[in-house]
Structure 1
Amino acid sequence: MPQESAIEFKGSSFTLPVIHLNSDNRQSIETELIAKINQAPNLFTQASVVVNVALLKDDFDLCAVSDAIVSAGINIVGFSGCNSAKKKLIHELGFSVINEGKAQVVSQPAYQSPLYLTTPLRSGQQVYAKNRDLVVCNLVSTGAEIIADGNIYMFNTLRGKAIAGANGNLEAKIFCTHLEAELISIAGNYWISEQIPAKFYKQAAMINLCENILQIEELTIT
């Protein structure tokens, strides 16, 4: 009888927050990360992240950066935004280099018809619309997650997390008629509730990406 293999390689997709660094100063990074974690401990405590170093010098202090992030209680999956010099530095210290952005969109499979959610989503529950849009017609409670590789259309109150473009789709959008989200994210770019402009709180809004930066605008419903 053939022996069953101990391992299998399978394709999958994961949504990871990306930390964009403007400095390699250890104290500044650690202090700001701890402050962010204290704002939303359920979201960021022991979170796994990708660290974008595109704005740092080629000879940035990788040890200081990694030590600061780990000391704050964050797990580093890999680094992105790297040229050849930064890749060499990162590989020499045993870290991984991860490509993000448009390169991830190339191999996307064809999209299917939307997934419709008509029942309330309670805290701790998650719905994932793989390779499709997600249309939600009921409440999404705090602590619940709605995730889609495409767009998210939210026709009720959103209090939990909404993650669109989960497979790296930079064209994905979030449409919401009543925005009270604890987190919104598109293609790994995210805001927690404190970052959402106050004038859009409990309002109808559309969120999209412009040059890899989240944008939000009023959604007019007629």
Structure 2
Amino acid sequence: MLTKIIKFKQNNFSFYVIYLYNNQPELIFNAIKEKINHSPIFFKKISVIININYIKNEIDWKKVYNAIISTGINIIGVIGCNNKNIIKSINNTGIPILFTNNKDQKKNQNNDFKKQKKNVNNIKQKSIIQIIKEKNSLSLNKNIIYNKSKIIYNPIRSGQQIYAYNSDLIIINNVSTGAELIADGNIHIYGFMRGKALSGANGDKNCQIFCTQLFAELLSIAGEYLLQEQIPNKFLGKSSRIYLNNKVLTIKSCS
């Protein structure tokens, strides 16, 4: 009788991604350390993927790699790299190069998002009739990708990490201590919220977090953080709205 040794199975995982916009190792190190100092417990032994797509100049990957890992962060992969010399340098450090699927589709999606954002900025200057005509025109373009809200009805257990890419995240249940909710859009929790909630993960400062019963370990919007001990007692267990006000994370009671 054969005993099973291993099994290959496809799973879906969500990881934090650090987007690099500068190729200077010292600046990268200082920026990461500043984030870690805001919430040392949250970033302890965290594993990330590094995105270097936005670096237009040459990058000394070995120095950048050493700068990042010296902060205590673990690198599990690199994306956004098309330069053969840089790929070779990354391979020499033993870090895998990760490739995303449907590159052309994502490029179109980003272009459509920029166009839609521009339309939103001009919305006050247009009549209702003009807006309706434009929306009807856009609906004929099959290349536009619309992301619905990610809705989860099951309880989120400790150790689980849920990520809503380019959309809102709605949890219609309880979120346990040690669970992580991450969304590029808003986060809604209709239940006890005892884990971590990170809204505006793509940097959108207009995102908000809504909880019916707030006991969160950590709250974050576009990189600004509040730890559990920083949440005023008057909001604990209450229905609350969390948002940014002049770059300050603010909590307001909804009851």
- Report the TM-score, using the length of structure 1 for normalisation: 0.59
Corresponding residue number in structure 2 for 1:74: 73
Q: CA deviation at 1:87?
A: 2.8
Q: CA deviation at 1:163?
A: 6.5
Corresponding residue number in structure 1 for 2:223: 191
Alpha carbons of 1:156 and 1:71: their partners in 2 closer, same or farther (altered >3 Å)?
Answer: same
How far apart, CA to CA, are the structure 1 residues paired with 2:36 and 2:163? Answer: 28
Amino acid at match of 2:251: K
The answer to whether structure 1 residue 161 and structure 2 residue 196 are counterparts is yes
SS at match of 1:28: helix
Amino acid at match of 2:89: L
Task: Provide, for residues 1-23 of structure 1, a one-character-per-residue CA deviation record: whole Å limited to 9, x for no partner.
Answer: 22x23221111122111111122
CA contact (8 A) 1:50 1:77 kept: yes
Q: CA deviation at 1:143?
A: 4.7
CA contact (8 A) 1:184 1:192 kept: yes
Corresponding residue number in structure 2 for 1:44: 43
Corresponding residue number in structure 2 for 1:89: 89
CA contact (8 A) 2:16 2:48 kept: yes
Alpha carbons of 1:75 and 1:114: their partners in 2 closer, same or farther (altered >3 Å)?
Answer: closer
| Alignment coverage as a number of residue pairs | 177
Alignment of 1:88-107 (within 5 A): 88-100=88-100
SS at match of 1:78: strand
Alpha carbons of 1:78 and 1:146: their partners in 2 closer, same or farther (altered >3 Å)?
Answer: closer
SS at match of 1:202: strand
Corresponding residue number in structure 1 for 2:171: 135
Corresponding residue number in structure 1 for 2:34: 35
How far apart, CA to CA, are the structure 2 residues paired with 1:6 and 1:141? Answer: 33
How far apart, CA to CA, are the structure 2 residues paired with 1:30 and 1:6? Answer: 41
How far apart, CA to CA, are the structure 1 residues paired with 2:252 and 2:92? Answer: 49
How far apart, CA to CA, are the structure 2 residues paired with 1:159 and 1:198? Answer: 23
How far apart, CA to CA, are the structure 2 residues paired with 1:11 and 1:74? Answer: 25
Alpha carbons of 1:163 and 1:12: their partners in 2 closer, same or farther (altered >3 Å)?
Answer: farther
Task: Specify every segment of 5 or more residues in structure 1 that has no aligned partner in the other structure, as ranges.
Answer: 165-173, 205-220
SS at match of 1:82: coil
Q: CA deviation at 1:47?
A: 0.7
How far apart, CA to CA, are the structure 2 residues paired with 1:73 and 1:156? Answer: 34
How far apart, CA to CA, are the structure 1 residues paired with 2:92 and 2:57? Answer: 14
Alpha carbons of 1:192 and 1:175: their partners in 2 closer, same or farther (altered >3 Å)?
Answer: closer
Alpha carbons of 1:125 and 1:84: their partners in 2 closer, same or farther (altered >3 Å)?
Answer: closer
CA contact (8 A) 1:18 1:49 kept: yes
How far apart, CA to CA, are the structure 2 residues paired with 1:79 and 1:19? Answer: 10
Name which of 171, 177, 181 aligns with 2:210.
177
CA contact (8 A) 1:80 1:97 kept: yes
Indicate the structure with greater helix content: 2
SS at match of 2:49: strand
How far apart, CA to CA, are the structure 2 residues paired with 1:129 and 1:82? Answer: 23
Amino acid at match of 1:70: I
For the aligned residue pairs, the C-alpha RMSD in angstroms reads 4.3
Alpha carbons of 1:125 and 1:97: their partners in 2 closer, same or farther (altered >3 Å)?
Answer: closer
Larger radius of gyration: 2
